[in-house]
Amino acid sequence: MIALCAVFSLSMAGTSLAAPANLFAVVPEKHWAYSAISQLAEAGLVKAFDGGAYKENVILMRCEMAAIVAKAMAKSANVDAAAQATIEKLKAEFAPEFNLSETNNVASRLDKLEKNASPIKITNGDVRIRYQSNWDQKIKNTDKDADTRIQERVRLNIAADITDNLKFNSRLAATHTSNKRAANGTSKSSTYANPAFDRAELQWKNKQTTVAFGRIVPSLGQGIIWDGNSIDGAYATYDFGNAQA
């Protein structure tokens, strides 16, 4: 959405038209236009930016709202009277944007941005710092101290939607171990593991069935039986509703 407004503002920079003061003002969350566009989305006249349904708490810019209305106007000939009335009301609301010479190109620019958007996304990540004592469980009854170490880890989850049912999931991890000390020892050492993918799987899903192949990070028994360690192979689950196999 930010990219769309940037393109729109750059296209307006070379014109002699004076843009209205509120062209890039944020439309309030409770603005009636949200529910109006939601109705048009349910009727199949417009689509959301991410392919899903519009939500009340999504904030759009006025230029983007105008682009959405322009798409609905293009299909207004074959809709019922209620939808036509909604479109006319939206058309009047965003009249300042439609009066700009470049506004008619916003919808096509939006289509190009959607088509050129990369399917690969960094979905989330995590950072962990932990102190461990007797982490390798080598302490003996005669030892006064235990092994200790501090471990720092950074992970990024990267995903890509290949088709509606096929998805690629991966995770890039980097780990550093510092202040590593052996039991009854005084010297300390540090080690660093180069960033590597500890997850790289193709996941196919169809209704209740999910099949994964590659380097997988399964979670069994809510993580009590198995959690965190990856395996190379295939993994399939079936969801019965109250249980999974």
123-175 tens-digit pLDDT = 889 999 999 988 778 777 766 677 889 999 999 999 998 888 899 999 999 99
Question: Is 245 inside a domain boundary?
Answer: no
Same domain assignment for residues 93 and 107 = yes
Structural element, H or E, at residue 203 = strand 189-206
Is residue 244 domain-resident? no
Number of domains observed in the structure of the chain: 2
Residues 6+ apart with CB under 8 A from 126: 154, 155
pLDDT digits (tens, 9 = 90+) for 192-222: 888 999 999 999 999 899 999 999 988 777 7
Give the domain-ending residue among 101, 116, 131. Answer: 116
Are residues 112 and 128 both part of a single domain? no
pLDDT over threshold 70, residue 59: no
- Let me know whether 124 and 234 are in one domain: yes
Q: State the residue range of the domain holding 74.
A: 2-116
191 and 204 fall within a common domain: yes
Instruction: Judge whether residue 103 has pLDDT over 90.
Output: no
The residue from 97, 116, 135 where one domain ends is 116
Q: In terms of domains, do 148 and 133 share one? A: yes
What token pair was written down for 97?
A: 């944007």
Query: Most confidently modeled of 3-12, 216-225, 227-236?
Result: 227-236
In the chain, the amino acid numbered 31 is H
CA dihedral 189, 195, 201, 205 (to 10 degrees): 100
89 within domain boundaries: yes
Q: Looking at the structure, do residues 108 and 13 belong to the same domain, yes or no?
A: yes
111 and 159 share one domain: no
Q: Note whether 21 and 46 are same-domain residues.
A: yes
- Domain boundary among the residues 93, 116, 139 is at 116
Which of 188, 181, 185, 189 has its CA nearest to residue 143?
185
How far apart are alpha carbons 14 and 101 in whole angstroms?
11
Residues 129 and 214 in one domain: yes
Tell me, yes or no, whether 18 lies in a domain.
Answer: yes
Closest CA to 146 of 132, 162, 128: 132
In-domain check, residue 67:
yes
Residue 243, domain member (yes or no): no
Quick one: 226 and 193 in the same domain?
A: yes
